[in-house]
Amino acid sequence: MPPSPVASPSPSPSTSTSAERTRQLRVVAASGLLGTAVEFYDFLVYGTVAALVFGELFFPGADPAVGTIAAFGTFAAGYVARPLGGILFGHFGDRLGRKSMLLLTMGLMGGASFLVGLLPTYDTIGVWAPVLLITLRVVQGIAIGGEWGGATLMVVEHAGERRRGLWSSFTQMGAPLGSLLSTAVVALVVALPKDEFAAWGWRVPFLLSVVLLGVGLFVRLKVVESPLFTEVKKDRAESRLPILDVLRRPRPVLLACCVGIGAFTAQSLLTSYLIAYATGIGYARPQVLTALTVSAAVALVVLPCASALSDRVGRRPVVLAGALASAALAFPVLALVDSGSPGLLILAVVLGHGIAQSTMYGPLGALLTEMFGTRVRYTGASLGYQGATLIGAGFSPMIAGSLVAGSGNSTPVSLLLCGGAVVTAVTVLFVRETSRTSLADTADPAEGSDAPHTQEITA
């Protein structure tokens, strides 16, 4: 008789479980990358088009400088709404679950962006045009206010103790990827004759967002709920009012807010505001958009490198290095922009945004989520992050525009860049190192700790 075949050994339950966790982690990381890219594409398209054309289309009759400031006022409205979105979606994310909130934020953002592309201008419906524009911008702000926190902590909580900095960088990379997509699409429509761009071309980037929305939702539907939140839900240990638990001991959220100010000041001034400033001193629009595209491509490399490095040496040293670099480069970067050379403009944006800002920004995803316990993590991380965007990015373009109009030079922009970086650098000194903190042992503010425990992760 022929020998009976030898059955292949089946994988052990632990091996199968580990493989499934790794597969799901990759899906979650892809979801975070695509979802955040879609949200930032929508959000940054607005900022780019606001700098180019919204002043004349939605705020006519005003002085050109006032029109630009008014357009950036709607830009700030989106940032003011972001902390509100962080509180709203953070509450339900900590109460009901992360996944459902992420689907809702993406739908809101994509829908609002698509409707902006359909808006009649002031010439058609009068004052209702800017009113509706600001309303949709607020909806965008609320949506993105809930997006980042949920997307980032989903990745971090799925990663557990495995290279959280590196895995969280996929969500962080959504910002430059969204910027890359938005500037590339806007660059194409800006190539149209000026009257055609003002008539219909500006609408195209907003209308295309519906395609990105479909792709993002398809991937996000495949994600399973965070395992750490599932445990909290199973134990019925959810916080009844996460925002009150966070604010009862506000030190972590205040530190989280301040540590991100430098990154968002640099992001805002060297992307959206730079378009208005650089075109105002003689650069062609395609030259400025090319510089932003190159910078975003560089950021896609620097972000994961900085985040992975933070797993090895800690979050604090990497963020501090980026902040010091940003402060040191503040005046040289604007001097390069003022040179009038397209090549030096690219170098300026790559140094200030692609490298220095990305080094600060990369580890923030892991750092902020590690500062809060599972019961309030969505609320705490979102509130800290969105507070930083409000202070660092929301009003920087308006302040810079007003000061530059008064002084006639770029010194105020350099001072704002340097000031934001200094705030981050000083705050880092007061933040505990979290790269070796076990997420399962992180204390909630409601449990009587202002900062996470620092139980070391052992191999």
Q: Measured on CA atoms in the order 401, 407, 412, 414, is the torsion positive or negative?
A: positive
Distance CA 101, CA 143 (A): 10
Mean pLDDT computed over every residue of the chain: 83
Specify the residue for token string 């899906």: 27
- In this prediction, residue 232 carries a pLDDT of 78
Instruction: Decide if 22-225 and 244-436 have a common fold.
Output: yes
- CA 348/CA 87 separation, integer angstroms: 36
Residue 92 has pLDDT above 80, yes or no: yes
The encoded tokens of residue 353 equal 């945004």
d(CA 93, CA 83): 15
Give the residue from 205, 256, 233 showing the smallest Cα distance to 371: 256
pLDDT interval class at 68 (50, 70, 90): low
In this prediction, residues 314-335 reach a mean pLDDT of 96
The per-residue pLDDT for 423 is 96
Which of these ranges, 3-12, 38-47, 64-73, 203-212, has the smallest mean pLDDT? 3-12
- Taking the C-alpha atoms of residue 410 and residue 203, their distance in angstroms, rounded to an integer, is 31
Residue 372 neighbours by CB under 8 Å, 6+ apart: 246, 252, 379, 380, 381, 442, 444, 445, 452
Query: What is the model's pLDDT at position 14?
Result: 45
Question: Mind listing the pLDDT tens digit for each residue in 332-351?
Answer: 999 999 999 999 999 999 99
Cα pseudo-dihedral 356, 361, 363, 368, rounded to 10: 150
217-221, 418-422, 435-439, range with greatest mean pLDDT: 418-422
- What secondary structure letter does DSSP report for 393? I
Radius of gyration, alpha carbons of the chain: 22
Q: Domain locations in the chain? A: 22-225, 244-436
The topology (CATH level 3) of 22-225 is Growth Hormone; Chain: A; (1.20.1250)
Q: Select the more confidently predicted residue: 101 or 44.
A: 101
Share of the chain above pLDDT 90, in %: 30
Average pLDDT estimate for 426-442: 83
Distance from C-alpha of 74 to C-alpha of 202, rounded to nearest angstrom: 17
How many Cβ atoms sit within 10 Å of the Cβ of residue 35? 30
The predicted structure's pLDDT at residue 453: 41
pTM over 0.85: no
**Does residue 30 carry a pLDDT above 70?**
yes
pLDDT band (50, 70, 90) for residue 286: confident
Span 244-436: which CATH code? 1.20.1250.20
